[in-house]
Amino acid sequence: MISGVLLDLAGVIYDGEEAVPGATDAVRRLRDAGLPMRFVSNTTRSTKPAVLDRLARLGLSVAADEVFTPAEAARRWLAEHGRSPHLLVHPNLVQEFADLSAGLPKAVVVGDAGEAFDYPALNAAFRELIAGAELLALAPNRTFRDSDGKLSLDAGAFVTGLEFASQKSAIVLGKPSQPFFRSALATMSCPDDQAVMVGDDAETDVAGALQAGLGHAVLVRTGKYREGDERRFEPVPTATLRDLSEAVDWILDTRTP
């Protein structure tokens, strides 16, 4: 049975400024069914208030504490470990780190910096790493579906390159890290084996959730999905479905054993 739902955002609920067809109705059907749900996103080009605004413009009323972002997880990590961030992130995200202490030992924080991934910025981050800084990856995703409809390089490529050059391993804050999934689950009082994750990334959403111990993970054929993704990563999805609307049908059918 299923008693709690984690939903990805980009590629599942919206693509850019547009809702994925049927997605907002699907979210409302989950709400009406009384199923607790949380939103877990690896998007690191928008602040959390911007994410909430976008959901509101699509007619979805979502509370701030229902949304989990890698930037929040990074802020907690930096505070717990007494580190100041050296940022390699999208300009939109810089303000999320503005109030943190400066002057402490550094940790390099890598998000999807987009055009800000240039040689001087990457090399400056590399030099911090070999001088002793830890490497924090907001998200390790390989690709995302860009505004022109094509796949583009996501932060994972740059994280992997920095790991290779510095011979350090990144600490992943967002999906597929187990603590990230667990921080969302912990707010729903839902047993792991009764939780389902719905996402368009077969690796970080689906295989990641199953590896983190969730009972179910549904891959949707929207967003960045490419033919064959359901066979490309282990563990394979519990189900691979057309979109969030079909996923919600499946969840409501599977809800009671």
User: Which residues lie near a copy of itself (CB under 8 A)?
Assistant: 113-120, 122-123, 126-127, 130, 142-143, 150-154, 156-158, 160-165, 167
Report, in Å, the least distance between residue 241 CB and a copy of itself.
24
Report, in Å, the least distance between residue 156 CB and a copy of itself.
6
Pairing type for strands 239-241 and 216-220 reads: parallel
Residue 92 half-sphere exposure, CB side, CA atoms within 13 Å?
15
Report, in Å, the least distance between residue 154 CB and a copy of itself.
7
Pairing type for strands 106-110 and 37-40 reads: unpaired
Report, in Å, the least distance between residue 124 CB and a copy of itself.
10
Q: Please, are residues 200 and 170 in contact by the beta-carbon 8 Å criterion?
A: no
- Reduce the DSSP state of residue 6 to 3 states and report it: strand
Residue 66 or 112: the one with the smaller Cβ distance to a copy of itself is 112
Closest CA to 141 of 151, 150, 154: 154
Residue 146 or 249: the one with the smaller Cβ distance to a copy of itself is 146
- Token output for 59: 């007619």
Residue 167 or 256: the one with the smaller Cβ distance to a copy of itself is 167
Report, in Å, the least distance between residue 6 CB and a copy of itself.
25
Whole-angstrom distance, CA of residue 163 vs CA of residue 158: 9
Residue 48 or 142: the one with the smaller Cβ distance to a copy of itself is 142
Residue 34 or 120: the one with the smaller Cβ distance to a copy of itself is 120
